[in-house]
Amino acid sequence: MTSSNMFSTDRHGWTELLPKRSAKPCLSGSHRVPWVVIGAGVTGLACARRLAERHPDQEILLLEARLVGQGSSGRNSGFAVAVSHFAGGFEPDQMEVYRRINRINQAGLDLLRAQVLAHAIDCQWHEGGFHHTAADRQSSQEYSQFLRYLEALEIAHTPLDRQELNQRLGTGLYDVGVHVKKGALLQPASLVRGLAESLPDNVRLAENSAVLGIGKGAPLNLHLANSEVRTDKLVVATNYEASKLGFLRRYLIGSTLSGSFTRVLSNDELAGLDCLNEWGVLSLHSGGATVRLTKDRRICLRNTAEYHGAALLSDTSLVQRQAIHRAGFDKRFPQLKHVSFEYAWSGVEGISRNNTSFFGRQRDNIYLAGGYNGSGLSRGTAFGTALADFASGDHSPLIDDCLASAPGAWIPPRPFLDIGAFLTVRSRFKGVGLDR
């Protein structure tokens, strides 16, 4: 059995920009329900919503170990991806894999859009696509491969040179890039809060309610610090933290990322950039920086990733990483060197050794989805929705696409796990150069 202190958090990040909210009470006492979903990130929220729609007369219990918005779904850079970038070069024999993953991405994007519109979720939703950029030799080589991929799959895009990128982004750092027209930018913590606040009436959300153990048998018995829950069916939507409950222990690790965002830019500072009012940049180097100009006129930059035992960074470590954020920012925007950072954050992404995702039944009446390798907002939404249908005995093309995920590559146990994970994450930065 795990311990509740293994679900630590902090007050850094996107939630600091939001109004205070009243948390749902933690779970106490004994309960008997037909469905339990563990994890109130985008996967768990999507799954609980779909289960509630399919089973309107049944209670769906949604358990979150932290507060809503404090997990990984509220700690990313806010890109809901429709078109994935597959690093390492275009491989024509992988065309159907590319199409399948992009179908999942698009399904998740469509679901998110529908929910944002239906419930008037104020999350700075901006569906203007993304810029994929290259500033150094290795990423420039990846650029030509990415163009081949986009052209082969007939994905709408616009190639851009240095001058065009400067006009759009207000920085002269990048040599070449391409604007992919599909995809949405958003405020991730606002999105997750909005999705939680608009759940159907038959979903009961309990925060600060970590599941510490799962008993075998039927019904399943869940152990919490102040509660016991018996349920007929269980969905595990905890991504990289599934190992804390005994799942995917040798197949999924957590990579800790960190970034900072500025104070709100003044009218003069924004005019000095002479760029689009809102944009997002994804580096074509796997270790390159993710950069955004947000709707509320902040510049956000994320440019570190490391193996840190799937944990957030301490305050001291975050201050140290912020020096790396600052160097990346000043390199891109020397005209804004005087602009201070207002907040920093760290978050953990679930990555697999072979960049696959996980979907399906783990054992009798236990279902799981996770491992999105940096594309969790859209892909996690699609997986969560499809998993609710799958656990309900349904069949659909989206379920088929999710089930077709390649088997996960085995990761050796500790201490080899720590060494291999450290080297795997560090290898992302090989040759990153100016793109960091």
Encode pLDDT of 23-48 as tens digits.
999 999 999 999 999 999 999 999 99
Q: Residue 436 CB: number of other CB atoms within 10 A?
A: 18
Q: Please report which confidence band the pLDDT of residue 411 belongs to, taking 50, 70 and 90 as the band edges.
A: confident
Average pLDDT over residues 109-138: 97
Asked if CATH classification 3.50.50.60 holds for the domain at 4-74+190-250+354-409, the reply, yes or no, is yes
Average pLDDT over residues 364-382: 94
The reply to whether omega before 25 is within 30° of 0 (cis) is no
Share of the chain above pLDDT 90, in %: 85
Encode pLDDT of 226-277 as tens digits.
999 999 999 999 999 999 999 998 899 889 999 999 999 999 999 999 999 9
Share of the chain above pLDDT 70, in %: 96
Predicted model pTM: 0.95
Q: Please report which confidence band the pLDDT of residue 6 belongs to, taking 50, 70 and 90 as the band edges.
A: confident
Per-residue pLDDT at 11: 81
pLDDT of residue 412 exceeding 80, the answer is no
Domain boundaries, the chain: 4-74+190-250+354-409
Encode pLDDT of 381-409 as tens digits.
999 999 999 999 999 999 999 999 999 98
pLDDT of residue 418 exceeding 80, the answer is no
Per-residue pLDDT at 306: 92
Average pLDDT over residues 356-378: 94
pLDDT of residue 5 exceeding 80, the answer is no
